[in-house]
Chains A and B, each alone.
Chain A
Amino acid sequence: MMEFMGYRRADGTVGTRNYVGVISAVVCVNEVVEAIVRQVQGTARFTHHQGCCQTPLDIGRVNQTLIGLGRNPNLHSVIVVSLGCESTDISKVTESIRASGKRVEHIVVQEVGGAARTTAQGILLAQEMVREASLQQRELFPISELVMGMKCGSSDTTSGLVPNPAIGVASDLLVSAGGTSILGEVTEFIGAEHILARHAANDQVADGIFKLVERMEVRAMAVGEDIRGGQPTGGNIKGGLTTIEEKSLGAIAKAGSAPIQAVYEYGERPAVRGLVVMDSPGREPEILTGLAAAGCNVITFATGRGAPQGFPFVPVLKITGSRTAAEKMSDHIDMNLSAVIDGGDTIPDAGRRILEELANIASGSMTKAEISGYTNSMDIYMLGPVI
């Protein structure tokens, strides 16, 4: 059984990192959060553009997402920064995170008296909390404690040929060891949902997959546009992907062959182990946030042309099957599997190496995205308009 060194949390989950999270309750305080995090090592921020002037449905989603992020096992403790007049339900957010057994502090810019004073107070508080977090030691855990998010971005033809099926193998191995993997990117199920539904553990799950795809497709069509304007993206087309169906068939290879146990809403924490599906769009800021809110402690990310984004407090392992991307985007790519193309490597071997690398990353080995700090352009997936 493979193992990794992680951080034990009070609610039974296991962290692969040990940050003090500084979370914006609303877009208006992002600059305070940035200023605090800039000054204190050992913190990670989550900033976004939501939390005010939105429909109740979306505000509910902001609340749930912030709760999920705060409860993510990679955060030791949390500071929530709010403005004071936002729509986000701050007491619900802070109480729900606190219920997981973490220390949660809350600072309000309009009460403290402006950005400068709040920043100073936040810095002092964060320093004290980082000191407390740094006392915790890593312990040995089986890889069944990994919750792996899966994503592909800046795809080209090689994504569907190499890294996606290799991630599928890694996911199968993780699931058979008792772990959890989460497949998102519902936009990229379009045209391949019938294949994915064949993997469903039961009819209810299959039905859930079809409903998610229908909802996504109807939403895109409701604006009277051709979804092809946005999917596949211009970069995908330049890379040789012609239709959303083609992109989807390559994308769902990440699902591997394990049965899909359940279907969840965006950012919802799985109640079961094994392979599950989560509603989410394909764009990086929103899906990475959704996976983190669902409790992922590692994320695998297949790329064809070379996508740079990581996530502020969840390590994102970048994997490519393109020799060109591995060379040209070397400061963003962690694993180069391009030897599979010529037949010098195989998908099953590559998949096993991905799982081994995940165990290393989970134990503290840093990803390129973490080293470069290219992790902060995040957002929450919204359904309605800004009003």
Chain B
Amino acid sequence: MTRLVGLYPRTWRDRYEDEFLALLAERPPDALDRLDIVRGAIDARLHPQVQVAPVAPEPPIVAMSPWPVRVGWLTLLGGVLWMAAMVVAINSPLVVYDSVTYRDFAASLPLLFGAITLLGVGSIALVLQLPEPARAARAATYVSSLAGILWALAPWLMLAGAIAFAGLAVVAIAAWRAGHWSSLELSVFISGVGLTWGALLAYVAGLWAPTTPGPDLQFLVFVPLVAAWVVVGTSLVRSPRRRTTPKPTIA
């Protein structure tokens, strides 16, 4: 029976198929009815009474606002600043102090501060797009932003950095659950953030140590974090293009 109903155009089926099949289940069609259904399908194709609305429904005001897009671009700029900070840090002068060699990355601090601040702004813009109430995500993003600023001011406070990205992970999962992020976006975010903080956690716990320790490795390990800026930024930039499928209407 569904084969016969399949003769009708998609828009007609979207509107009537369920009730039409219920009718046919209630009154099984004989040969004449089957012929009538075929005639009805031809008519529906030649004279469509049901059409998809020509004008797409208005998207939410938040999505149409240019601000999320602008914040998205700023967040992506933050990602560029983050990478620039890593480049500057890796090229910072070597300092030998008490037989320990390290790089004086003070020159990269303004870049780090700018990058982390922009990520905080991006995460706030992202959480504001989530459907109400999203209390956990909102609380997480504010804690994350404050912890991020603290980390940007004092990069040696690794716990602040960990809290900042843990909070951001809560926002990421909320965005995915709300349908704002795809599984790919969430995977990229978790991979990048997880790689960095996983390596650091393993190092602190004594589970992992670099085979060739060097002063640059402490910066290279933070490079995958750029995934956070990329995913948050691109999701905000793309937000106005997220559209719902128009429902069929009667013409």
Is this pair of chains taken from one and the same complex?
no
Point out residues on A near B: beta carbons under 8 Å.
Answer: none
